[in-house]
Amino acid sequence: MATPVDTLHRPLSELRISVTDRCNFRCDYCMPKELFGAEHHFLPRSSLLSFEEINRITGVFASLGVRKVRLTGGEPLLRRDLDRLIGMLAEIPQIDDLSLTTNGALLTRKTALTLKNAGLKRISISLDTLDDEVFQAMNGVQFPVHQVLEAIDHAAAVGLAPVKVNMVVKRGVNDQAILPMARHFHDSGHILRFIEYMDVGNSNGWCYDHVLPSGELLERIHQEFPIEALPSNHSSEVAKRWRYLDGGGEIGVITSVTEPFCKGCTRARISAAGTLHTCLFASHGHDLRKPLRSGTSDEQLGQLISGWWKQREDRYSALRTSQKAIPAKIEMSYIGG
């Protein structure tokens, strides 16, 4: 099937799959514990796409031109036997990049090895600071820093290197951690990536004052470790790459707020319940679960997806500053970050 191209000339080429809406953390910028408490209703098991359904729909996306797949959530390692899904997706011939984003809490050496052996190519692990007090307040469940650092080591030791370490930067909350994190990961072989705090969902109480522009962040790093820009690996890469002039490795900045990258956004997302979203900030999606469960052929599924993609005109971040009324958005833990 031909690769669909949207109204802004962006082809479909990447897929993010949320395998669960549940998480063992309550990060204040994603699932604040005040709002995601005991009363919160997560999806029942029957609403989640099965591994077989995920595999089938990924095959359809591959036939439409998708080459990169990332598993996310919620916390993807909460989904039992995730290696079985990875094994299935790794068999799809067109998929040449299969990766996972995790908070690392459940990533033992054994799990890392199992995922790698199943066919996982790359991993991103989130860590917002090296300061235990700040980290425990941010993750909302008192999870200690050292266990995430161990998870990063496990991933690298089994060959999932270089590990990308994702740090969401909130001004006034963890921006003091920028330099300690840069020092820690300088010369480590891992790639530290700073993510501007985004207004995903409706529950994190986002305001612009909490955003630290990446330009300012790079300036702070440059004072201690001179850096220079690197060319991007491909046109749809979201992180802007920089390298330390002393040979200490690479860092990245994800400037979704201050320098949006909607122009090159070729990414589709599937929620854990099987809804296709064509933007992280979408207020609605297209149901794939129903057709998947009601005898629709692969050909017909491909036509549905292709039709939706061709109508796509999303560029939320590029419009953010000019938007007055923002419709209710879907939570990131649901849609898949």
Q: Is the dihedral of CA 218, 222, 225, 230 positive or negative?
A: positive
Considering only residues 39 to 78 of the shown chain, the ones binding ligand SF4 according to CB under 6 A are 73-75
Give the relative orientation of helices 145-157 and 132-139 as an angle to the nearest 10 degrees.
90
| Interface with ligand SF4, residue 103, by CB under 6 A | yes
Q: Is 102 left (phi over 0), alpha (psi -120 to 50) or beta?
A: beta
Selected from 102, 188, 275, 306, the binder of ligand SAM by CB under 6 A is 102
Asked if residue 299 lies in contact with residue 168, where contact means CB atoms within 8 angstroms, the answer is no
Stretch that binds ligand SF4, among 24-32, 109-117, 144-152, 290-298 (CB under 6 A): 24-32
At 295, the amino acid letter reads G
Q: Which does 271 bind (CB under 5 to 8 A by kind): ligand SAM, ligand SF4, none?
A: none
Buried b or exposed e, range 115-134, using 16+ CB within 10 angstroms: bbebbbbbbbbbbbbbbeeb
> 8, 6, 78: which is closest to 42 by C-alpha?
78
Stated as kind and residue range, the H or E segment containing 153 is helix 145-157
Contact mark string toward ligand SF4, 229..268, x via CB under 6 A: -------------------------------xxx--x---
* Binds 192: which of ligand SF4, ligand SAM, none (CB < 5-8 Å by kind): none
Judged by CB under 6 A, the chain residues 306 through 325 that form the site for ligand SF4 are 314-317
**Count of other CB atoms within 10 angstroms of residue 159:** 12
Q: Which 153-192 residues touch ligand SAM, going by CB under 6 A?
A: 166, 168
Partner interacting with residue 31 (select from ligand SAM, ligand SF4, none; CB below 5-8 Å by kind): ligand SF4
State which residue, 38 or 207, has the beta carbon closest to ligand SAM.
207
29 contacts ligand SAM (rule: CB under 6 A): yes
The closest alpha carbon to 288, from 43, 5, 17, 22, belongs to 17
Q: Which is nearer to ligand SF4, 59 or 73 (CB)?
A: 73
The minimum distance between CB 157 and ligand SAM, in angstroms, equals: 19
Choose the contact partner of 204 out of ligand SF4, ligand SAM, none; CB within 5 to 8 A by kind: ligand SAM
Give, in order, the Cα–Cα distances in Å from 94 to each of 89, 185, 277: 10, 33, 22
Closer Cβ to ligand SAM, 56 or 171, answer by number = 171
- DSSP string over 226-274: -EEE---SSTT--SEEEEETTS--EEEEE-TTTS--GGG--EEEE-TTS
Question: Which does residue 195 bind out of ligand SAM, ligand SF4, none, counting CB within 5 to 8 angstroms by kind?
Answer: ligand SAM
Among 19, 23, 66, 270, binds ligand SAM (CB under 6 A): 23
Q: Which residues bind ligand SAM (CB under 6 A)?
A: 23, 29-30, 72-73, 75, 101-103, 126, 166, 168, 195, 197-198, 200, 204, 332-333, 337
